[in-house]
Structure 1
């Protein structure tokens, strides 16, 4: 890749097409784990790679997509057996091509949505990487969970020296299945140091054009486009595009900025042959200047306006918070985070250092817990580099670290952490001699930090400079020096941070002084004030500053904040959290406490019907509207489950019958080992009070029928992700219809449509978990 002024010039590379499509065309018996063919039928894979090389591919993907230790368990083969054979087959079939170790998703729900931890995922991916070091590069593809993707990238980076390409699968709404935004993907993966990124699978080339255009405005890295051959027909498994129409659409992707092009599901060598005409052609596109940014999967922030940072997740001077840390009361910490977000914090400072607390372990736990409920970015705050590293490692997205300074030991310890995890940093303008008395002294330290960061390949935009707020009561002259430094940094285009409330320490009427200092700092160009966002006066000042700085188009935010306010408006002081609110926000402990209070005046059935169900319905409605995403949906479901446990305990203690709405059997059909979607449906249905009998994945039709007959089940849910397993779904439905009292049947999965569900004689098509609840209600309410 060559850079000229304001442009990037790349050479187009041709990738291969679908492996699964070619295996199916080979007419051989395909095992449940197709990667086993690397040793069971190597000649078939060699021929596939050879065909793609002849068609013009320059990079071929080894047949290792699902060769994780977990999936290979019980097959009699190790990861080394399958991965090394896969790479060798690709090398033999396409000796003139680069061979990619192909790594796909693990098929497990990651924390916090599921129980599969970051460390578990990392271990699975690391085993594949170590076994595949004979490849020329690593391709991580078809990912939808940003945290799982990060685990795979780190496994690749820490266990090999190979280049790393990453593609994620986006849906028509511009997000992945788990809600990850395109901007969050770009920020996180570029920060982790991948060599190319982009898209594969999910949608055809036409639907991918808009995504590539957006990504080209976010990154200067090479962009990968490996779309399906249109959309599949569930009845036949065939895709809608032929090779010629595919190539015509791929031309738009190249024009949009894709320089690594190939095909995914439904494509074969004839498709690659049509696009190989672009091999080696130069592609010129606009360079993307570096800028300061942080993100979570659901929210990406480009720090070009004022962004208030919540300061309350910090034990200093807060006895209740200190107690929460010692007792690992993470729900209390989450409640503080939610209150700050609702008050307007766009970033949350997170400090968990306190005597008697294992800060490294606690930082890891708190980051995971906060990200299960709160979607705003976190600023990980610690003087312990090990705690910063622990938090940055499990952080889902692009984090920020607080802090580094001009001290050589700090630079040596923290800069490598930021570089490895792609984090932004707060840079304190102090060094071994302390805090300079003048603005110029602080500026000189900042310049040294910038130079040292540059030597490590870290752009100045990743540094947020804190010229430090000294207390007026002790050092009255220092306030002006701090403001001068803020102004100087701002004029250079550098981002600034200040803990503004320090200014008033030891003075009466602290909020008045703090507010005026905040206003002056904002006027000087302060980017990120760290403050108590729950104080309306401070947030009012920020709203006004945004308006004055022309960062609030049409005064929209200002009017929203002040338009309906009256002078005597006083917020109620609520000491407890409502049950429905606790469930919607995913606050487990608050939900349990609220349920216990509710049971003092309501029957168990009323708690379920009048509190729990309406709360879940509200979450479901927001999910359907796209204002809430899968992590929050599952967090609410977990809180609802906590409420159900309280209700069940209450019923047991009072000798009453348990609250159950009916039994439902769920299964992923025979031959299909993907069960993420089914597991989500199970979680949500259980929290609506249904008794779910989960038969697991790869379930034979006879097993489903036997379970339905034995339990007297009225509703069955069947899931399939692959077109090749749809006949098994149809056979299961046929056998269920032979029962004397056949159940209602709902089906779901990525390859299904309402029309095909009807053709298979299923009673319902369920597009997602919330739709499954609607169907269950219809079935059981009409019994």
Structure 2
């Protein structure tokens, strides 16, 4: 039975448990590469898989979690590891006496380095890495592809696209979240579901990082918005070190009680992650049929999202219109000059003005519209968490926007022309986006509402034939210029009322109504109010036009959408009196540029300021306080890792200017508050956390000696002694390398007792850090900076 058919049954699909735990029991040494160990010990790998099959697993994951070209040591290729891993899983399947349906899943984990803009790996590079794994896995004969333990929505999107575009196999995808309800990069479970489900995966869920009690709220959030099977693989609690091994604190009975709650919540695919073994799986297999799987009946609410923000389309929303060159000379010039900071400033201003969604249009003759769309999309998404709407008349530009958007977007637009529907709707379906449908066809824009209704229905019917939900379609009944087409303009309002009966959302570019008239704001505001009353859902307006926002906010109060007038009171009781329009270039203070993460302008502002201020004033009185403010907002959950990194990069741009000035003056002065070693411990090849900590420390003025990843104990100690460094930061992302961290700490304390050590990584807790002898536990990059301030 094909695995998709299995999932249609009223049965739970059971996965295996931890691989690392089992390999350790088979002799895997601390810091040794699991995939290489399994390759060199095939009989041990076969036995592990067989134990899981015999325990009742329907699916075993191949020992390929870290099998990519960035992680494997020299002499081992992706192809040889995957081919061997699948072969051994198949042998185990044949040897197992279990009568259950059995499947082999290609296991794909994170590549181990951050994607842009937080890291250096491009989306396309990540895609190619995952594609190589997928192609070999398909050739080797796996039954399903599982993308798991992802922390970055952008990375899981690259992996899923690689799987979907290079195979016809079922694809399951899971991310890992912490107790805050977010991933390491700030991604929400709901954002994962809306984005990845739309790409056509067969199951979505959560694994690793948390025990069954802590992970349950995450499962509930996923089950609440997912339309496909939900997958859960929790850890067996929290780890502690016993005889050099990680031991977890949740026993089999408690773990199973957690599994019962997962299934009762709606999960249909269950397994185990770190700390679990065949005994945990046997308990599940022997008892799972007694649990009634919850049937999830819910009303689907269309939504768009960035990683850290979901915008539900269940009330009128503001779509910021200003990142569009039409009628905007300054933005046209910025596009021609490749000045992305201008678009970034427009994005920030519109978000501050109240935009729920940001439209991005780069359609300007004489430029590469597709390249500009990708560049501006990435820049805007790096500094704001507001979801976007991509606007273009060119299919290749729309697909580029769909592909590189980090989250779920809206495509603006498709129309009633056959060519448009044939080109655009397949893209919308492939990427799982929402879509704006324009009520025009080969004959242009109809005068009467009835004809616009007919075109809308034609597009809706065609979209549904592609598998696009009706509720994900947003019909634009088109605003016409009232000064020239007064009767037709009112027909727009009639059309909105009619189209709403089809069960779709509606949108309008509101300001089109007033072209050619004096006092346009008055007409725009009145038309917006009328359109909202007719059923307008997404108003494409300028959110920095306060009269328009007053109309929107007042409407929500009068329609009892803004319960208790909460948002209205908040906006207008705290409203500042200064002009909300954009500042001209050069007027924005350096600290604001840092907080916004605008690198090029921060650099130019620093050059300007150095004419009247010394470098220490700029560093100590402006840059560091600005970063502190960013850190406070990060800790409060107002911004997330991508925005914090962008702010750090803006500081870096300023610091580079300062360093160049000092070097040219040959003063011998240095912008350094002290020296710190950072290293990923021996056996661990993950650079993610360490690199983020490095960026933050450097931008607070510390000199960082980065020893890289997989660093031997002796190298850390020798460097600290030779360079007379008093603070060392160690990172580990794998449970199998925590012993290396402990060994490194012990060696440092033995030879250099005055050295302080802080540690961090996904597998660590504060108690765990104390247990292995660290002086400090660094939960994130901001806390690493606080530790540095105390010690240097």
Same fold (TM over 0.5): yes
Distance 1:55 1:572, change over 3 A: closer
Aligned to 1:672: 684
Distance 1:61 1:459, change over 3 A: same
The match for 1:149 is 156
Q: Which string of whole-angstrom CA distances, capped at 9 and with x for unpartnered residues, describes residues 681-725 of structure 1?
A: 000000001110100011011111221222221211111223332
Q: How many angstroms apart in 2 are the aligned matches of 1:536 and 1:637?
A: 32
CA gap 1:9/1:76 in 2 versus in 1, 3 angstroms: closer
The answer for the alignment partner of 1:205 in structure 2 is: 212
Partner of 2:116, secondary structure, is coil
- 1:592 matched to 2:603: yes
Take 1:571 and 1:81, find their aligned partners in 2: how far apart are those partners? 60
User: How far is the alpha carbon of 1:254 from its aligned partner?
Assistant: 1.2
Counterpart residue number, 2:77? 78
Instruction: Please give the secondary structure, in 2, of the residue aligned with 1:294.
Output: strand
Q: Secondary structure at the match of 1:167?
A: strand
Q: List per-residue Cα deviations over 1:456-483 (Å, max 9, x = no partner).
A: 1111111110011110111110121100
Deviation at 1:280, TM superposition (A): 5.9
Deviation larger for 732-741 or 444-453: 732-741
Give the corresponding residue for 1:4. Answer: none
Query: 1:203 Cα deviation (Å)?
Result: 0.5
> 1:234 and 1:542, CA in 2 relative to 1: closer, same or farther beyond 3 A?
farther
Give the drift of 1:60.
0.9
Correspondence for 1:266 among 244, 265, 275: 275
Q: Report the Cα distance in structure 2 between the residues aligned to 1:428 and 1:572, rounded to whole angstroms.
A: 30
- Which residue matches 1:773? 785
Residue 283, structure 1, aligned to residue 293, structure 2: yes
Partner SS for 1:728: helix
- TM-superposed CA distance for 1:628, in Å, is 1.4
Is 1:485 the counterpart of 2:485 in the alignment?
no
1:313 Cα deviation after fit:
0.5
The answer to whether structure 1 residue 644 and structure 2 residue 630 are counterparts is no
Q: Structure 2: how far apart are the matches of 1:739 and 1:609? A: 35
Aligned pairs for 1:337-486 (under 5 A) are 337-486=347-496
Distance 1:187 1:27, change over 3 A: same
How far apart are the structure 2 equivalents of 1:101 and 1:276?
22
Shift of 1:563: 2.7
1:49 aligns with 2:49: yes
Q: Secondary structure at the match of 1:238?
A: strand
CA distance in 2, matches of 1:766, 1:564: 36
Aligned partners of 2:543 and 2:29: how far apart in 1?
A: 62
CA contact 2:31–2:684 (8 Å) conserved in 1: no
- Kept in 2, the 8 Å contact 1:84–1:131? The answer is yes
Aligned to 1:515: 525
Residue aligning to 1:93: 92
Alpha-carbon deviation of 1:29? Answer: 5.0
Looking at structure 1, the residues matched to 372 and 580 of structure 2 have their Cα atoms a distance apart, in angstroms, of: 33
> Following the alignment from structure 1 to structure 2, what is the Cα–Cα distance between the partners of residues 148 and 461?
28
Question: After alignment, is 369-378 or 273-282 more displaced?
Answer: 273-282
Over 3 Å counting, the alpha-carbon distance change for 1:30 and 1:752 in structure 2 is closer
- Residues 100/557 of structure 1: CA separation in 2 closer, same or farther (3 Å cut): same
Q: Give the Å deviation of 1:565.
A: 5.7
- Residue 24 of structure 1 corresponds to 24
Contact 2:322 2:359 in 1 (8 A): yes
Matched, 1:505 2:515: yes
Kept after mapping to 1: 8 A contact 2:209/2:763: no
Alignment of 1:132 with 2:142, yes or no, is no
Q: Which runs of 5+ in 2 are unaligned?
A: 2-7, 95-100
Q: Distance in 2 between matches of 1:151 and 1:252?
A: 31
- Number of the residue aligned with 1:240: 249
Partner of 1:216: 223
- Report what 1:748 is aligned to: 760
Report SS of the residue matched to 1:265.
coil
Check the 8 A contact 2:472/2:504 in 1, yes or no: no
Name the TM-score, length of structure 2 as normaliser: 0.95
2:12 corresponds in structure 1 to 12
Q: Distance between the aligned counterparts of 1:36 and 1:644, measured in 2?
A: 43
Alignment match of 1:117 (pick from 97, 105, 122):
122
Aligned to 2:58: 58
Mapping 1:538-557, distance limit 5 Å:
538-557=548-567
Do the aligned partners of 1:13 and 1:279 also contact (CA within 8 Å) in 2?
no
Is the alpha carbon distance of 1:230 and 1:760 closer, same or farther for their aligned partners in structure 2, counting shifts above 3 Å?
A: closer
- Residue aligned with 1:102, SS: strand
Alignment correspondent of 2:187: 180
Q: Secondary structure at the match of 2:76?
A: coil
Instruction: Give yes or no for contact 1:580–1:612 (8 Å, CA) kept in 2.
Output: yes
Aligned residue pairs total 772
**Is the 8 Å Cα contact of residues 723 and 751 (structure 1) preserved in structure 2?**
yes
Partner of 1:5 in structure 2? none
TM-score under structure 1 length normalisation? 0.96
SS at match of 2:88: helix
Partner of residue 39, structure 1: 39
Deviation at 1:573, TM superposition (A): 7.2
Quickly say closer, same or farther: Cα 1:399–1:517, change in 2 above 3 A.
same
What is aligned with 2:98?
A: none
RMSD: 1.8
1:751 Cα deviation from its structure 2 partner? 2.8
Conservation of the 8 A alpha-carbon contact between 1:9 and 1:285: no
